[in-house]
A and B are shown apart, each in its own frame.
Chain A
């Protein structure tokens, strides 16, 4: 019999108690407890707060079709765009939403490659957030072209004059980057869901004989059928896990360069142009760091209420998880702060008067308010996370996460609008203010995002059941709790 404990000649001293890390699932919960807790979110009665939240979200989401129909039937004149500010809310929202999505891929792919086991508690919700954020983002470039019925010219299909898209334009690169990002994120998310959908299928199957009421029986039949269909007949076979784990690793390996490239390519939309304030080489890494920064803030915004509202969830998403997320926020926030400083320095150091003017105008020009909101939210607020109390107190983290979300939206506003509004010549100077259509379209996407996210929490396991089980000591065949002989 193969014995998996170390040979008796080798003695491994246990680490000192102060170096021991807090467990990823608190209170040494059993494997079964993990699936019960996560699946109960779906199986239990819909909580009252959920109805209220989805009601509010859905009402907000209704503004999206209203504004889109009004925009398309009337024309882009309903927006606040003018000469010289031809890129306004649409592009700001697009970049912001895509940025939100980036944390999901960072958590699911990059932290996976870096063997950060704590990611398992948050990766599913973060990936869902990515998908819904990219859906919101995708709306904006499509509508901001003005004549939306020509959107298909962006795809590699010849138009009526047999002309193909022009592949030297970063705007066409964007189409490929964003659509690839969406598709790969969906695949990654769905693949991770397969074992958990099988868990749901089996849970409905186990209680099938016990439900008597017709409504409950229908619900059970529907659950078995739908979760069964989408779990593709998963049996937890190790011959399957063998290929599955490899495919997961490869998808993580592909999603990592993908996530770095997507915001780089979006930054090319600006950086490849000749405009002071946009034409900078720092943009790709600066955009990626900003994206991860805002995305982590959004993950915190979403996960803190969820772990408080669902019973037992705070033992799966523990304070340690929140603390680690705060540390990532602090790191990326520091990179963003550094980029702001470096931009200014290079504007001065380049000796280019237009470049220097663009930056002075950002901080002290007509849009000074947006710049200073950005600085206080993005540069000052994350540095509160140096203090342990600040990064272990959920309500406080939540407030900071909202500040970061606001700050990152302002960053995109600063980049897009302040660079455009005062051009090379004073004859090209102007001021941009959004109209109610701009604002309500944005609120509409927020509602759309929250509606989708709430539906996701209600009907799909929002924590990766099999992955969380896999990182507990009970799942380790070489650990005494996993049954290994001492």
Chain B
């Protein structure tokens, strides 16, 4: 019988770094080498890492914008429908619908749905929740939320070659490089 290890598919190479400057320099090297399916894992957001990885602007803002717009116009529409169209309640000769008295509620709805858009958009773009991940099985990787920094290059990357990639990461200054399986 073959051992379980024979069936394991490599997920990628994980390289450990000690300081944010080291991992930033390494990220620039990996970016310049032309890799596409790779990532940097850090205990906090490292300033300048987005540029070092060549990431553009995050599209979360669109989700916020669409959420906010839905909230504002949805709120106005709701009040108009309820207080003017479906069941008018005349009070003191005031109009049944006015954008001014409706504004506070529509404003709160803008913020509410905008906030749902931001959080939901972030989770959607990050493909979270994802409770199973190859890296989360690796015990050494547990330091990623403590005080260590990692560059992970996935085996799916078209440029991935175990030898060459390992060499690149070594040159970038990593003292511990490990192959992580799926």
Contacts and interface: CB of A to CB of B under 8 A. Distances in A.
A4 B130 contact: no
Interface string B37-63: 001111111111110110101111100
Contacts of B52: 2
A215 interface: no
Contacts of A232: 123, 128-131
B147 A30 contact: yes
A46 interface: no
Contacts of B55: 238-239, 242
A316 interface: no
Chain B contact residues, majority secondary structure: helix
B108 A467 contact: no
Interface string B77-101: 0110011001101010010001001
B177 interface: no
Given A254-B118, A477-B21, A485-B21, 10 more contacts: A30-B147, A180-B112, A183-B112, A233-B130, A238-B40, A243-B122, A243-B125, A466-B43, A474-B19, A477-B19
Contact of B112 (A4, A31, A184, A474): A184
A247 B118 CA distance: 5
Interface string A16-51: 000000000000001110010000000000000000
Contacts, number: 239
B119 A233 contact: no
Given A164-B86, A477-B24, A173 B105 contact: yes
A254 B89 contact: no
Interface string A125-162: 00000000000000000000000000000001010001
A188 B95 CA distance: 37
B4 interface: no
A407 B17 CA distance: 53
A25 B141 CA distance: 26
Interface of B: 18-25, 27-29, 39-50, 52-53, 55, 57-61, 64, 68, 78-79, 82-83, 86-87, 89, 91, 94, 98, 101-102, 104-105, 107-109, 111-112, 114-116, 118-119, 121-123, 125-126, 128-133, 135-136, 139, 141-147
A383 interface: no
Interface stretch (A79-87, A198-206, A290-298, A442-450): A198-206
B47 A477 contact: yes
Interface string A243-259: 11111001100110110
B139 A238 contact: no
Nearest to A5: B21
Interface of A: 1-2, 4, 30-32, 35, 156, 158, 162-168, 170, 172-173, 176-177, 180, 183-184, 187-188, 191, 195, 198-199, 201-203, 205-206, 228-229, 232-247, 250-251, 254-255, 257-258, 261, 265, 268, 466-467, 469-470, 474-478, 482-485
Contacts of B58: 242-243, 245-247
A474 B19 CA distance: 8
Contact of B104 (A173, A198, A228, A250): A173
A31 B60 contact: no
Contacts of B108: 173, 176-177, 180, 258, 261, 265
13 contacts: A4-B48, A164-B89, A167-B83, A168-B101, A177-B108, A195-B145, A199-B146, A202-B144, A236-B145, A238-B50, A247-B118, A477-B24, A477-B48
A246 B91 contact: no
A81 to B, nearest CB: 25
Given A180-B109, A206-B139, A206-B142, A250 B18 contact: no
A226 B94 CA distance: 54
A202 B19 contact: no
A423 to B, nearest CB: 21
Most chain-A Cβ atoms within 10 A of its Cβ — which of B44, B55, B133, B142? B44
A241 B50 CA distance: 9
Contacts of A183: 112, 115
Chain A contact residues, majority secondary structure: helix
Given A233-B130, A235-B133, A466 B44 contact: yes
A195 B44 contact: yes
A254 B34 CA distance: 38
Given A246-B122, A247-B118, A475-B46, A172 B147 contact: no
B25 A1 contact: yes
Contact of A184 (B111, B143, B144): B111
A244 to B, nearest CB: 6
B114 to A, nearest CB: 5
Contacts of A482: 19-21
Given A238-B53, A247-B121, A477-B21, A187 B40 contact: no
A168 B44 contact: no
A35 B128 CA distance: 24
Contacts of B114: 250, 254
Contact of B115 (A2, A203, A254, A265): A254
Contacts of A257: 107, 111
B87 A35 contact: no
Contact of A163 (B48, B89, B94): B89
B20 to A, nearest CB: 4
Contact of B49 (A168, A238, A243): A238
A177 to B, nearest CB: 5
B133 A202 contact: no
Contacts of B123: 232
B60 A246 contact: yes
